[in-house]
Amino acid sequence: MSSHPNLLDANNSVLLLVDIQTRLSAAMAAAESQQMSHHCERLLQAAALLDVPVIVTEQYPQGLGPTQANLLERLPAAAQVFAKTGFSCCAAEGFDGTLAALGRKQIVLAGQETHVCVLQTALELQHRGYQIHVLTDAVCSRHAEHKAFALQRMQQQGVTLSCHESVLFEWLRDAKHERFKAISGLLR
């Protein structure tokens, strides 16, 4: 049976967490930041269960600090973390080569800020031939309207907007999957 090409496949996906750093998160609306963080925890747990590679970026970590501790604790051992000063993740030294070496074409994108680093990363990766899925419930900006305009702009450019639960069930594809109980349990 042939699948729609825009459905995510765990064997062709990479989870990319963009700049989810404590100091940066503190500037976001608390509820939205907490939601983003919680959903990213679930994504990391599912990625570990399904062997989906994880890449993390940190914007100017000397000033904004490291990735949030709750997410660092859940990073798979093979996860790669890139420091950057450019807004697009593609500007981080070694990022493009690391991503290309994984040989996967679907990028599941979460992080902050939606209208800056997430937007620029999504468009640059799309331009490089990757299929981009931005998770609307796992990204945030300091201002709600900035997030809304960025999501609209990305969608106009052909980026897929989705949510973290859709990703989990697309990665599984079937309730008979051996990891179904573990991953569906993350949603309780």
Question: 122-145, pLDDT tens digit by residue?
Answer: 999 999 999 999 999 999 999 999
Which domains does the chain possess? Answer: 14-185 (3.40.50.850)
Nearest CA to 113 out of 25, 5, 186 is that of 25
CA 135 to chain centre: 7
Query: Can 117 be counted among the known catalytic residues?
Result: yes
State the chain's mean pLDDT as an integer. Answer: 96
Q: pTM score, two decimals?
A: 0.97
Residue of 84, 89, 140, 147 with catalytic role: 84
Structure tokens at 149: 């305009």
Residue of 19, 40, 89, 147 with catalytic role: 19
Residue of 89, 90, 117, 140 with catalytic role: 117
- Give the CA distances from residue 141 to residues 11, 27, 105, 137, 152, in Å, rounded to whole numbers and listed in that order: 30, 9, 26, 12, 14
Q: How confident is the model at residue 119 (pLDDT cuts 50, 70, 90)?
A: very high
Question: 41-68, pLDDT tens digit by residue?
Answer: 999 999 999 999 999 999 999 999 999 9
Query: Can 19 be counted among the known catalytic residues?
Result: yes
40: left (phi over 0), alpha (psi -120 to 50) or beta: alpha
